[in-house]
Chains A and B, each alone.
Chain A
Amino acid sequence: MMVLMPFTLAEPAAFPVLERIVFAGLAIASGALFWRRFGPILHRILQSRKDADFRLAPFGRRMWEFVSQVLCQSKVIRQRPLPGLAHAFVFWGFCAFALVTLNHCAVGLGVGFLSPDGFFGRFYFYFAAVFALACALGILGLFIRRFFVRPRWLGAKLSWESGFIAFLIFFLMVTYLAAFFVPGGSPAIAALWWLHTLTLLVFLPIIPHTKHLHLVLSPATVFLSRGSFSRIPPLAGDEDFGLVAGADLTRLVSLQAYSCVECGRCTEHCPAANTGKTLNPKEIILGLRSYLNEFGPASAEPLLGKHNPPIAPFQCTSCGSCEFQCPVGIEHLPILVGLRRGAVNTGAWEDDHGAKLFLTLERGSNALGLQTSERDKFIQKQQFPIFDGTQEYCLWLGCMGGYDPKGREIVADFASVMRYLGTSFGVLHKEKCTGDPVRRLGNDLLFQQLAEANLEALTQNKVKKIVTICPHCVRTIQEDWKEYGTPPEVEHHSEFMARHLSQLPKPSQQESIAYHDPCYLGRYRNVYAEPRAVVEHAGQLVEAERHGERSFCCGAGGGLAFLGEETGERVSHVRARELVATGAKTIGTACPFCNSMFRDALAASGGNAPQLLDIAQLTARSLPQQDAPSAS
């Protein structure tokens, strides 16, 4: 194979002493410039508060994520295949180049260890050349994308810094590859070596000064991640109220703030940023970085203020597409929720609707502020048995299922599915809001009260298994309540129905149904197939342009369903348009909040809106007529 190579492999002979001294001097200067910037950054990260809940275990999971996300660039490629691949080539090029570069510098000091004459050396130089070529093409592609294609989420401003870096990388590769075409011993070899070296020495100090810091930090960020999606860390001690000031920033948060590569994937998918809100997840992270640079991690200066607008975190629907997409391991939700906690736990957040929600839940049982007796009436009307420990499932109604007229229809239909299957279930007399909206809004006091009250009621009633129509309840019960006790097993009705599909009748007509993934079922629980199976059982599944992992939020999450009018365009309207655009006759939902958001959005769109049904309703339509009481 090597015989086929048309060029010779060249390397400069030993350098004169003067050149060696010059090189050594320049290398030290370059290293010092690197450290002058990187040292303080590292210091700020290490100076940040320790993450109280951080555990290195399970090590295997961390290694796997590192191999998959860093070495294999899985997230980078998967979420944006073409630029992702280009980036992966650059990354792999760098990896392959590490040995070459080490040798390159060693040559400068007269201690080169790879020789084109040796077998390994010769092999490796060619090996690296292949990567160099791929890397050069990759960076060229990325350059063209950034400067000529210019996707919206990279921002309107052209980053000349990125252009310069791209040039440096390209030039590094070119000077490496060019050496293959220059005959050995030619003075051009030395010139190429110096050009390559100077490029390297310029590149090194630029790294910590730019977003290319991610080269150094993001492998660590990915490796050290909290490990589960949207994990809200417990507060540590009596003086921890969330992210209030610099002193509350933990090492993970600071590390992540410095790791951001400004790719804008978070912004590209953010429902708030795409509908004219102030919130831009990328700017939140960069704001924290600017904060750290200006005030440092011990400061008492509020985090919401100069570098981050106080309103921004409260526009987050907690859909999690930012965190899900982030290729460098930034966990946006703990940060956004952390900022909310800081503002809410100290009372700094003033919002009429928010305060009303909190006051409602401080006094009452449900987020809608309705009387419990309304729920009792519904239970009686539906003849739902009260859970007494003998039934298999506790059917958790949730606020929407217990009080919202549409949510009640969904619960009633799901109950008829369970009845048809002969599955025993009961409902609780005393069910309070799971605390989902207040958890996401950062009200730890209220969340704790609700979680504890519910856990107590469940323990008293000896509930082992819960099933519910609401993915927010599922998530909150299963993950968030763990801070205050051991919740029972919980599943979403889509999972329950998917398991029993073979026993459920199929409709004769197959109408088209566009399924909308709820964030709290998809990204939060990784449940994509089950509701689709239910939809396919009931009709013809149609996918919206954005679906599955990349589904777009309905706008209700993160407590926003309760926070009053949105600025800019409504998230629900954007998503409803996408669903209508599928041309499906029916929109299938699997979350009562999504359902209620679309109900309004479709009503406002007027015209011939598709019908809107939960997957439980889609399923119940095919059941033989029962003597079950009507809904609501």
Chain B
Amino acid sequence: MKIVVAIKQVPERDAPVRIDAAGRWIEEADLQWALNESDAYALEEALQLKEQHGGEVIVLSAGPERVGSTIREALAKGADRAIHVDCDDLGQRDALAVARLLSAAIQPDSPDLVLTGLQSDDLGYGQTGVILAELLGLPHASLILHVEKSGSGITVKRELEEGWFQNIELPLPAALTIQSGGAKLRYATLMGIKRAKTKEIRRLTAAELGIAAQASITLDRIALPQKQKTTQILTGTAQETAAALVEKLKFEVRAL
């Protein structure tokens, strides 16, 4: 099976969030970068499929030069080769425009399976994988926890709300967006990093792919949410605090 995994480099979870002067994005100068979490699960799923059925895993990532470190990390974990769509105008592209870039890069390889993580940890659109399927003309399924090969197609386990799941059968080729937590991630190893040095990373630019930056939706400005996490201490008698807590759980947390 030939599998393309589209991955994204995002600011580390821990990264300090400072709004830049223009108020449209955060200061990137001081950030540490990491592989987007659900993309890590997509990569893991691809690697496990390759280990079971053979084939090739190609990682694909769009972004500026710094993305190279995340690509090497993916190669170290076991991907066979990589495509880096070198562009530093991701901010000017909406989900559709980014997906156009990626689909143009994927097309020549005509993979059996295209995987992406469900959602990015930074912008959180949760659309790229589904749009990719549309652009590549592939059937798709989202929120996938597990993939199994069945005959000429695949059967996937999809997460539904409130602890429910369903199985979906798809023919190949297909595209899937992978939910975090379905598999156990492998850690990066010294051996993997050393082996990755000899693996191919093909660099393409947006111009070479012929995809211009455009957006039908624009991010005007960003702000810190008003409510920061603080501890609310409920006071009163046992009955009063209990009633107050139930009120909170019901209307603020919406868990009852």
Chain A interface residues (CB < 8 Å from chain B): 235, 238, 241, 344-347, 352, 354-355, 358-359, 362-365, 371-373, 443-446
Contacts and interface: CB of A to CB of B under 8 A. Distances in A.
Given A352-B184, A355-B184, A363 B34 contact: yes
Nearest to B191: A346
A358 B191 contact: no
B13 interface: yes
17 contacts: A238-B194, A241-B191, A345-B191, A347-B186, A347-B191, A354-B187, A355-B185, A355-B186, A362-B187, A362-B188, A363-B14, A363-B34, A364-B12, A364-B13, A371-B14, A372-B14, A372-B16
A362 B193 CA distance: 13
A375 to B, nearest CB: 10
A355 B187 contact: yes
A52 B188 CA distance: 25
Contacts of A365: 14
Contact of B185 (A344, A359, A444, A445): A359
Contacts, number: 54
A401 to B, nearest CB: 18
B185 to A, nearest CB: 6
A359 B181 CA distance: 13
A345 B189 contact: yes
Contacts of B13: 363-364, 371
A443 B187 contact: yes
Q: Which of A347, A359, A365, A373 has the most CB of B within 10 A?
A: A347
Interface in B170-190: 184-190
Given A355-B184, A363-B34, A344 B14 contact: no
B12 A363 contact: yes
Given A238-B194, A445-B193, A347 B187 contact: yes
B190 A241 contact: yes
Interface in B54-77: none
Contact of B192 (A238, A347, A354, A358): A347
Nearest to A371: B14
Contacts of B186: 347, 355
A347 B189 contact: yes
Nearest to B195: A238
B190 A444 contact: yes
Contacts of B16: 372-373
A96 B37 CA distance: 70
A405 to B, nearest CB: 14
Nearest to B14: A372
A358 B14 contact: no
Contacts of A241: 190-191
Given A241-B190, A347-B189, A445-B190, A364 B14 contact: yes
Minimum-distance CB pairs A-B, first 3: A358-B187, A345-B190, A445-B190
A100 B191 CA distance: 56
Contacts of A355: 184-187
Given A241-B191, A358-B188, A372-B14, 14 more contacts: A238-B194, A344-B187, A346-B191, A347-B189, A347-B192, A358-B187, A362-B34, A362-B188, A363-B13, A364-B13, A371-B13, A372-B16, A373-B14, A445-B190
Nearest to A429: B16
Interface in B185-208: 185-194
Contacts of A345: 189-191
B14 A445 contact: no
Contacts of A371: 13-14
A446 B193 CA distance: 11
Contacts of B14: 363-365, 371-373
Per DSSP, are chain B's interface residues mostly helix, strand or loop, or mixed?
A: loop
A45 B187 CA distance: 34
Contacts of A444: 190
Nearest to A375: B14
Nearest to B186: A347
Contacts of A358: 187-188
A346 B192 CA distance: 7
A439 B100 CA distance: 43
Interface of B: 12-14, 16, 34, 184-194
A234 to B, nearest CB: 12
A241 B12 CA distance: 28
Nearest to B185: A359
A261 B71 CA distance: 50
A443 to B, nearest CB: 7
B223 to A, nearest CB: 18
Contacts of A344: 187, 189
A464 B192 CA distance: 36
B47 to A, nearest CB: 11
Contacts of B192: 347
A363 B32 CA distance: 9
B144 to A, nearest CB: 21
A235 B185 CA distance: 26
Nearest to A357: B187
A344 B187 CA distance: 9
Nearest to A374: B14
A444 B187 CA distance: 12
B8 to A, nearest CB: 14
Nearest to B35: A363
B78 to A, nearest CB: 9
Nearest to B194: A238
A302 B212 CA distance: 53
Contacts of B188: 358, 362, 445-446
A352 B181 CA distance: 13
Contacts of A347: 186-187, 189, 191-192
Contacts of A346: 189-191
Contacts of B193: 445
A343 B175 CA distance: 35
Q: Which of B13, B34, B191 has the most CB of A within 10 A?
A: B191
Q: Which of B14, B185, B194 has the most CB of A within 10 A?
A: B14
Contacts of B12: 363-364
A346 B186 CA distance: 11
A94 to B, nearest CB: 46
A524 B3 CA distance: 49
Nearest to A343: B189
Contacts of B185: 355, 359
A332 B187 CA distance: 26
A621 B113 CA distance: 64
A358 B190 CA distance: 12
A355 B188 CA distance: 9
A317 to B, nearest CB: 21
B233 to A, nearest CB: 15
Q: Which of B12, B16, B188, B192 has the most CB of A within 10 A?
A: B188
A241 B189 CA distance: 10
Contacts of A445: 188-190, 193
A230 B148 CA distance: 47
A359 B189 CA distance: 11
A371 B189 CA distance: 24
A235 B189 CA distance: 14
A241 B190 CA distance: 7
Contacts of A359: 185, 187
A355 B77 CA distance: 13
Contacts of A363: 12-14, 34
Q: Which of B14, B34, B187 has the most CB of A within 10 A?
A: B187
Nearest to B76: A445
Contacts of B190: 235, 241, 345-346, 443-445
Nearest to A372: B14
A358 B192 CA distance: 14
